[in-house]
Amino acid sequence: MARTFERQVVELHIRVALLNRFTQLGRPQTVPVAAVASVRLGLGLGSCRAKFDLCNKDAKPSKMGLVISTNSAIDLACTLQSPGHAISDPTGQNAAYSQLYCRLSGTPLHLPQARHHMTDHTPTYSLHKGAVPLLISIPHLGTELPPDLADGMSDTAAIKQDTDWHLDRLYGFAADMGASVLQAKVSRYVIDLNRPPSGESLYPGQTTTGLCPTETFRGEPLYRQAQALSASQQADRLARYWQPYHDALCSELDRLKEQHGTVLLWDAHSIASVLPRLFDGELPNLNFGTADGRSCAPSIIETVVAEARASRFSYVVNGRFKGGYITRQYGVPANRVHAIQLEMGQDLYMLEEPPFNYLESKATSIKPLLRKMLMKALTSLTST
């Protein structure tokens, strides 16, 4: 549901965490209404655009004013007027995409209840439904090994070393940003959700693991006895584990696209920083993949890379990891879906050997950059 309110003046209180080149997270500030040119509210059932009369600040609120509870944290697209009002724009640009906490006072318009921050739980995934045009997919987070399969697996498989450990915690800020977050529950050793259902290799001629892998990244066997899955066994895993995840991903992309017109899909991954069987030497800290430029508009990935370039972390674009099936399949800019895969070195935030502990002392260095890159990508998305 979307409505436009013309020249309806309401009292607007906004605390803005501005993201700019001088700070990592910005400084919360109270911005008088005169500094705000327009605000787009991303509601659970649709986008509601409200236009405010910035000239007559003494006018009384309209009876059609919009009210959002004071504890609602919603990511809004906030366009600032030119410097000279209550707040300046230190970047020299007249727009910023920020996390805002807002209250619009006045008589409420009776809209259907917005369904913010709802989470669907299934045996194979969880989906947190957000309100901004961003879906973060974490297909290799899962650690569950179904008992009927685990019985035949090796002791090495039980360690689950190739898991993208702790990415739910590392991206824990995303829900507060208003992003949707899709997380797998089942281990990639059962089936790899980032491989095509046909099982074809995405990196011909290079060592990689398959749709239903039989060995680890290091070449260790996953099963006590060497075995090849039959066609019926592979079809069963596709139906039980692979398809539900992709159905949820497609459905959420469609929902966000219907609300916002366009959407950013961020496929989140992590991997051991040194894996001689898969790549030479030490992996760059941040490995961005856009399927050699096909899955994302250049302007969006360029804003993300600009933040990485300004940081102390090493990075590469479309290097060893160009994006897996999810990035290549769903990232279609002509269809208003832009996809970026980020493969991070696990040494940035965790212990790379068992017991794979999360290291907060390290994570605190990379999390602000992750957040900033996502915010910049959203800014670019809304202007694409």
Q: What is the pLDDT of residues 12-47, one digit of tens each?
A: 333 332 222 222 233 333 333 333 333 444 333 233
d(CA 110, CA 49): 15
Sheet holding 286-289, edge to edge: 118-121, 125-129, 180-184, 134-138, 263-271, 337-345, 286-289, 315-317
pLDDT tens, residue by residue, 125-169: 999 999 999 999 999 999 999 999 999 999 999 999 999 999 999
Number of neighbours of residue 289 by Cβ within 10 angstroms: 27
| φ/ψ (deg, to 5) at 13 | -115, 120
* Cβ atoms of residues 74 and 41 within 8 Å: yes
CATH class for the region spanning 118-383: alpha beta
pLDDT above 50 for 108: no
Q: Is the dihedral of CA 319, 336, 366, 18 positive or negative?
A: positive
Contacts of 186 by beta carbon, 8 Å cutoff, 6+ apart: 124, 142, 144, 145, 146, 241
d(CA 217, CA 221): 10
pTM (predicted TM-score): 0.72
How is residue 264 written in tokens? 């950013």
Average per-residue pLDDT for the chain: 76
Give the C-alpha distances (Å, rounded to integers) separating 350 from 165, 169, 272, 353. 8, 11, 10, 9
pLDDT above 80 for 2: no
Predicted local confidence at residue 23, as pLDDT: 25
pLDDT tens, residue by residue, 226-279: 777 889 999 999 999 999 999 999 999 999 999 999 999 999 999 999 999 999
Q: At what angle do helices 360-383 and 298-309 cross, to 10 degrees?
A: 150
Q: What are the residue ranges of CATH 3.40.630.40 in the chain?
A: 118-383
